[in-house]
Amino acid sequence: MTRAREPIVVVGGGIAGLATALSLAPWPVRLLCRTHDGSDTASVLAQGGIAAAIDDADSPAAHALDTLAAGAQHNDQLRVHWLCQQAPEAIDWLQTQGVVFDRDARGQLHLGREGGHQVARIVHVGGDASGAGIMAVLRQRVQQATHIQYRGDVEVDALLLRGSTVEGVRIRDRRERAHEIGASAVVLATGGIGALFARTSNPPGADGNGLALGLCAGAQIRDIEFVQFHPTALCVAESGCLPLITEALRGAGARLQDHSGRPLMTGLHPQEDLAPRDIVARQVWDAHRREGAAWLDARELKRGWERYFPTVMAACLAHGIDPRTQRMPVTAASHFHMGGLAVDLDGQTSVNGLYAVGEVACNGVHGANRLASNSLLEGVLCGRRLGVLLADRGAQNMTPKTGGGRYRWVTRGNSLPAELMADLRSTLWRAAGPVRDAAGLQQASQACAQWAEQGWQARLASDLLAAARSRAHSLGSHYRADALIGGEFR
């Protein structure tokens, strides 16, 4: 429930946060972002588009089956069917906002295919620049919206609770000046945890800050051991945010190879290079373990393919690689967090007054491994649903049953020093990457325990490692190399 007259605070400038803020109209919104323009989000970097069953030969039921298969049947089935049924509506809403999706020669929406999908059902914007194109339109809408007050270059480091109810946030600006904002409700839309791993496709801001805030307020978490690793980040550095090579390029015919040019996926899965991401990522990981490299070959694609993949082309050329004549070096990289703050389909956490939406939240729709191009879809649909819900509650002047209580601030604490952050990222990459085992998880847990008093990132990593240790069998993106199969270790 919301408290009357106070604004609703939305923390995060990705697609989930913007969809929530826009859908809250006319209720007043304070939209808070770490960067001045909200550019430090995974949504902006998203090359894949949005999955939706809009072709006559497709159906929401088929979309749901692919989602459940990719998620290793660990998904919440009712929520999966809701997501897939509502997907065409998400496309319609984005078009009403001004998003111009790519179309074919007949003027129909151009549909691409990505890993885990049995049919082509992905709509794109500007080829492989979907996230940037969609976010540019939604940011413009936010700037025009009279009910939204936007503030960038700030970070939320504490939540205000009265009794057991969240009623405000504390922010710090670039000069470390603190400001307090009262709220009728707080929505966390802060993204994932990819930047806690050495190799990632995520921006630096995807460091789990919202997840840590929710934890310090007592919110329950769910499935945090499930981290998706994208199989094809451009391998141009040992750590940091790596350029992504969209799955759609494999959908167009590019093939994964080992150092000698042998196909990586032949005979390993019926969909070969377009198998679910967890399967492909492990093969790329294994190629690096065995040979120190893996490659993506697009040299046999039809001439002119680069017009449809301008982001990939620009990233390769910027690093001295011409994918029309050279193979692209690729690596697995942390990409998406299926786990997060446990929420219902309305985005409510276990803490009154605190909501979560997008990657920071876990409502069970993605299961143990997200289906390609369902993330922007979830951000739009769940953001809109939450925004409308909270606006309706505000209009009805409904208030939470808090029973009063004293006010107190809860804070996630200090950040790790830079040198320890580098160690943490390397530790998580080695122990909690695409392939895990008990010994590696134990060693990483001991290291993080030593760092826990120095920064909240180490405490968050400890929670992830504990969840990974407790799930002794392989499931989806959580692959235990030491799991028992038929009485034997594999």
pLDDT confidence of residue 254: 96
Give the type of residue at 75. N
- Residues 275 and 146 both lie in one domain: no
What percent of the chain is helix, strand and coil (3-state, nearest 5)? Answer: 35, 20, 45
* Statement to judge: residues 424 and 285 lie in one domain: no
* Cα 13 versus chain centre, distance: 13
Question: Are 366 and 421 part of one and the same domain?
Answer: no
The mean pLDDT value for 99-105 works out to 94
Residues 201, 321, single domain; the answer is no
How many other CB atoms are there within 10 angstroms of residue 258's CB atom? 18
State residue 395's pLDDT score.
62
pLDDT value at residue 219: 98
Q: How far apart are CA 459 and CA 43, in angstroms?
A: 26
- Assess whether 305 and 424 both reside in one domain: no
Residue 486 has pLDDT above 60, yes or no: no
Residue 2 included in any domain: no
Q: Are strands 221-222 and 340-342 parallel, antiparallel or unpaired?
A: antiparallel
- Determine which one of 30, 277, 385, 393 is catalytic: 277
pLDDT band, residue 3 (cuts 50/70/90):
low
- Which whole number is the average pLDDT over 265-292? 91
Instruction: Label residue 239 by pLDDT band (50, 70, 90).
Output: confident
- CATH code for position 443: 1.20.58.100
Asked whether residue 488 carries a pLDDT value surpassing 80, the answer given is no
Whether residue 383 sits in one domain with residue 268: no
Question: What is the model's pLDDT at position 158?
Answer: 97
Q: Are residues 264 and 235 in the same domain?
A: yes
Same domain, 434 and 405: no
Mean pLDDT across the stretch 89-100? 97
Evaluate if residue 295 carries a pLDDT over 60: yes
User: pLDDT tens across 156-173, in order?
Assistant: 999 999 999 999 999 999
Q: Is residue 1 part of a domain?
A: no
Q: Are residues 251 and 304 in the same domain?
A: yes
For residues 461 and 196, give the distance between their C-alpha atoms in angstroms, rounded to a whole number.
Answer: 8
- Of 410, 431, 452, the position where a domain reaches its end is 410
Has residue 490 got a pLDDT over 50? Answer: no
Residue 418 CA to its chain's centroid (Å): 24
What's the domain count of the chain?
3
pTM recorded for the entire structure: 0.93
Task: Examine residue 3 and state whether it is found in any structural domain, yes or no.
Answer: no
Residue 157 lies in a domain: yes
pLDDT tens digits along 304-337: 999 889 999 999 999 999 999 999 999 999 999 9
Same domain for 393 and 299, yes or no, is no
pLDDT surpassing 60 at residue 399: no
> What local confidence, expressed as pLDDT, does residue 483 receive?
78
Distance CA 55, CA 53 (A): 6
Same domain, 146 and 210: yes
CATH code, domain with 36: 3.50.50.60
Active site includes 277?
Answer: yes
Average pLDDT over residues 209-218: 97
**What mean pLDDT, rounded, does the chain reach?**
93
Please give the pLDDT value at position 128. Answer: 86
For 307, the domain range is 229-334
The confidence score (pLDDT) of residue 354 equals: 98
For position 321, which CATH number holds? 3.90.700.10
Residue 176 and residue 293 in one domain: no
Chosen domain end from 394, 410, 426: 410
Q: Averaged over 171-196, what is the pLDDT?
A: 95
Q: Which of the four pLDDT bands, split at 50, 70 and 90, describes residue 46?
A: confident
Secondary structure (DSSP) of 40-55: SSHHHH--S-EE---S
Point out the domain boundary residue: 395, 410, 425: 410
